[in-house]
Structures are given as C-alpha cells and as structure tokens.
Chain A
Amino acid sequence: QSVLTQPPSVSGAPGQRVTISCTGSSSNIGAGYDVQWYQQLPGTAPKLLIHGDSNRPSGVPDRFSGSRSGTSASLAITGLQAEDEADYYCQSYDSSPNWVFGGGTKLTVL
C-alpha cells in the first residue's frame, strides 16, 4: 500500500482534459510538503513533469499543470495527445525522513 493514493487508471480521447488525483495525509501533503509529478513512458526511467506543486521544468509543455488542496494534489493534462500515454506518479515527503510515491496511474489515450 502506497502512502500516497492514486487511481490505478484514467483514460481520455485525444484533445480532451484528464486529471489524476493524489491523496495523502496530514504527515505529507497535508503538512505542506511539496508535491512532484513524474511521467514514465514504457521501458524508460521516470521524467520530472511538475515540481513544487505547480512548476514545470523547461521543456515540459504547458498542457501539463499541477495543483494542490488540503491533503491532496492533482495533475491536469489538457489537449490530450497519443504521446501522453504513460504511467504518472506523484511524490512528496513524509516523516522519518522518507520520500514517498503514489502507486501510479496508467493513462490510456483512447
């Protein structure tokens, strides 16, 4: 069981908007720690998509955006493209010290 909870899968048609949720608790997201998002294409290493809740590294299209509220965070993808089909992971900090990931969400572009 992951400390951060994500839906196992989401899907959308090309051009549509999808969101992926990441639910934590008072010891991680709810404590104010930053949330990051990573994209993992099949057979490749994860790639940083969003850091500090809503900041995009250079080269990441503005179709990707992040937000947070309370003990949860969300990744939104607008103008869905076939190349967006991948696994997406959220990540934050918990106590001990301990960096934690969500269980991952598989995005299918219909």
Chain B
Amino acid sequence: QVPLVQSGAEVKKPGASVKVSCKASGYTFTGYYMHWVRQAPGQGLEWMGRMNPNSGGTNYAQKFQGRVTMTGDTSIGTAYMELSRLRSDDTAVYYCARAAGFSPNYYFDYWGRGTLVTVSS
C-alpha cells in the first residue's frame, strides 16, 4: 500500500498558481521530511525542495526560490506544494517523496503516484 496519496490532475493558465496535496498514512507524518520532485514530459527528475513536517522548515532549489511554497498540516498528515506564476514549461508530473535515512544522505523510499499539472492558455 502506497502511503502517499496525491491530489488529482490540474489544468492552469499561465500566471496562475497551483497547489498540490500529498496525504500520508501508515507512518508518523512528523517523523520524515517530505520532498517534492517534478518530471516534465519525456524528461528526467528534478528536485524542487523539502519540508520538515515537524517544524515547518523548508529548503527550496534555487531555481524555484520565490515561486514555490511547501507547507504541511500535521492534524491531517498532509503536505502541500504551491507553485505560483505558472509558465508553460512548468507542465510536469509533480511527485511527493518521503525521505528516509540521515541528513544529508536521504533516500526517497516512498513516492506518491504523481500529479499532472498542465499549464496552457
């Protein structure tokens, strides 16, 4: 059973924002960092950032600084990734991934099934 369930596909216009959710189950949500990784069509994996569900602390890849916000709601065990000022090249599948191991040698042991975000006018 996959312990990370993501929200459904989204279609957005350029300039809009999108918020993707990732509900965790079967483990202590606050015990593991949650990372977000995206994959553009036909392309490789790109790390976007991470969120500490325990403290709310975040680290973002430089490329997304100022456009991405990662948050969590510990009461319902859900992580969120919001990307603003969307462009057509933000069209991608967005994955949440649980980070296991010890910092900084994390490995992503569980992944959500992904959320397709399409940006089109």
The residues of A with any CB-CB pair to B shorter than 8 Å are 2, 33-34, 36, 38, 44-48, 51-52, 57, 89, 91, 93, 96-104
Contacts and interface: CB of A to CB of B under 8 A. Distances in A.
B44 A100 contact: no
Nearest to B35: A99
A38 B108 contact: yes
Main secondary structure of the interface of B (DSSP, over half): strand
A101 B105 contact: no
Range for the number of chain B residues in contact with chain A = 20 to 34
A63 B101 CA distance: 23
Interface string B19-50: 00000000000000001010000001111001
* Residue among B47, B59, B101, B114 with most chain A CB within 10 A: B47
B111 interface: yes
* Residue among A45, A57, A93 with most chain B CB within 10 A: A45
Nearest to A51: B107
A48 B45 contact: no
A1 B97 CA distance: 23
A51 B102 CA distance: 12
A98 B65 CA distance: 12
B105 A48 contact: no
B107 A46 contact: no
A104 B104 contact: no
Given A45-B114, A51-B101, A101 B44 contact: yes
B104 A2 contact: no
Contacts of B45: 38, 46, 89, 91, 101, 104
Contacts of B97: 46
